[in-house]
């Protein structure tokens, strides 16, 4: 039986999602909790929608697990709760306080937490006036020492939308494509004075969101022109002037899936290697002026 698990965590004290020998990871904690409440003979394997880095948070993470159906049905014991309700209660009873399970459901046919997802939404918080920093939010807000022009940052961010090869903003992994569709990227200054970015894509490659933030910060400081991040994107290579921003300002907010009858179809599409249309390709070292979105 496949379960869908919706959960959240404070990433401050984790070495990211992925289990690593000798390090505390979200995957390890959640797998151990599921294995314990289900009395599984072997650790329950999890597949997550988004593998976050060390220090990154999540308010709307999703994973799936294939478990023994009889063990899941037995979770309520003598109570009148459903197995789903019992799973949430029992998991939160054994998990550490920096991980919370919000919901557990039997997954629909064809559901894959990673490949069935249509898009992921992230948030990044920047405070450019330390007097406005809420100490309660210090773990999910990065303090920036220079004043920032949020309108310029927003304009620069919007120039990056569309289907592109984001190699300039990703840590390259052998055999992995860096072609992604950036569906939304915007900046606003909230009522509390803190700058907040919304970044949405079909998927993200390693360090992409924090690099996208690092690309527009020099624009906000007035050190770069609004079209500079688009020029970096078109160049197709990492630029030392683009900082990978601190992880604790980043949170995975939401993972969106298609209707149940399209889950399997979406998973098949997502497994296919992404490529740019021939007309959109350029040599990796060709700088380019920053092309408009292809969609």
Instruction: Pull the structure tokens for residue 171.
Output: 């840590």
Half-sphere exposure of 46 (CA within 13 A, CB side): 26
Q: Which of 6, 10, 13, 53 is catalytic?
A: 53
- Could you tell me if 254 and 198 are in contact, meaning their C-beta atoms sit under 8 angstroms apart? no
Q: List beta partners, residue 197.
A: 124, 187
Q: Is 6 known to be catalytic? A: no
Instruction: Residue 212: name the closest of 228, 190, 193 by CA.
Output: 228
Distance CA 96, CA 239 (A): 39
Residues 133, 135, 140, 144, CA torsion sign: positive
Half-sphere exposure of 217 (CA within 13 A, CB side): 24
78-95 in b/e form (b: 16+ CB < 10 A) is eeeeebbebbbbbbeeeb
Angle between helices 208-221 and 150-158 (to 10 degrees): 130
Q: Which residues are known to be catalytic?
A: 53
């Amino acid at each position: 039986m496949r379960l869908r698990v919706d959960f959240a965590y404070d990433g401050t004290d984790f070495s990211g999602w992925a289990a690593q020998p000798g390090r505390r990871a979200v995957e390890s904690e959640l797998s151990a909790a599921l294995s314990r409440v289900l009395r599984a003979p072997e650790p329950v394997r999890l597949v997550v929608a988004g593998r976050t880095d060390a220090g990154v948070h999540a308010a709307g993470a999703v994973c799936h697990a294939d478990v023994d159906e009889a063990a899941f049905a037995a979770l309520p014991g003598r109570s009148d709760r459903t197995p789903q309700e019992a799973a949430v209660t029992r998991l939160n009873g054994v998990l550490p306080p920096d991980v919370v399970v919000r919901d557990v459901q039997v997954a629909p046919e064809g559901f894959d937490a990673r490949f069935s997802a249509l898009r992921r939404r992230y948030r990044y918080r920047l405070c450019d006036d330390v007097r406005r920093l809420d100490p309660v939010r210090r773990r999910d807000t990065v303090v920036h020492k220079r004043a920032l022009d949020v309108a310029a940052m927003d304009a620069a961010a919007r120039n990056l939308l569309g289907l592109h090869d984001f190699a300039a903003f990703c840590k390259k992994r052998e055999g992995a494509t860096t072609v992604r569709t950036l569906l939304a990227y915007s900046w606003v200054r909230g009522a509390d004075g803190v700058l907040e970015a919304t970044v949405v894509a079909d998927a993200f490659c390693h360090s992409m969101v924090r690099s996208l933030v690092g690309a527009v910060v020099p624009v906000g400081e007035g050190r770069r022109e609004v079209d500079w991040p688009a020029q970096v994107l078109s160049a197709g290579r990492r630029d030392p002037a683009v900082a990978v921003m601190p992880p604790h300002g980043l949170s995975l907010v939401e993972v969106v899936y298609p209707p149940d009858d399209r889950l399997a179809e979406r998973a098949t599409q997502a497994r296919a290697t992404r490529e740019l249309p021939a007309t959109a390709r350029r040599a990796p070292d060709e700088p380019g002026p920053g092309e408009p979105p292809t969609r």
